[in-house]
Amino acid sequence: MNKEEPLHWFALTVFKEFPKLLEDCKKADIETYRAFTVIEEYPKGKGLKYKEIPLIPHLLFVRCTENQLLKYKQDNNGRFMYYRDLTSEKSRPAMIDDRQMEVFMLVTKTKNKDVRALEEDKPEYHQGQKVRVIGGLYKGAEGYIKRIKRSRDLIVSIQGVAVIAISNIHPQFLEPVETETN
- Domain residue limits, the chain: 1-96, 98-182
CATH architecture for the domain at 1-96: 2-Layer Sandwich (3.30)
Higher pLDDT, 111 or 107: 107
Amino acid, res. 147: R
Name residues whose C-beta falls within 8 Å of residue 139's C-beta, 6 or more positions apart in sequence. Answer: 133, 173
Same topology, domains 1-96 and 98-182? Answer is no
Residue 119 has pLDDT above 70, yes or no: yes
- Cβ(129)–Cβ(83) below 8 Å: no
pTM: 0.85
- Among 16, 12, 10, 11, which Cα is nearest to 78's? 16
pLDDT digits (tens, 9 = 90+) for 58-83: 999 999 999 999 988 888 777 899 99
Question: Does the domain formed by 98-182 have CATH 1.10.287?
Answer: no
CA distances from 37 to 55, 68, 102, 150, 159 (A): 5, 29, 17, 22, 21
Q: What is the pLDDT of residue 129?
A: 86
Count Cβ atoms below 10 Å from residue 81 Cβ, excluding itself: 15
Q: Kindly state the average pLDDT of the residues 130-134.
A: 93
Q: What is the pLDDT of residue 182?
A: 47
Q: What is the pLDDT of residue 35?
A: 92
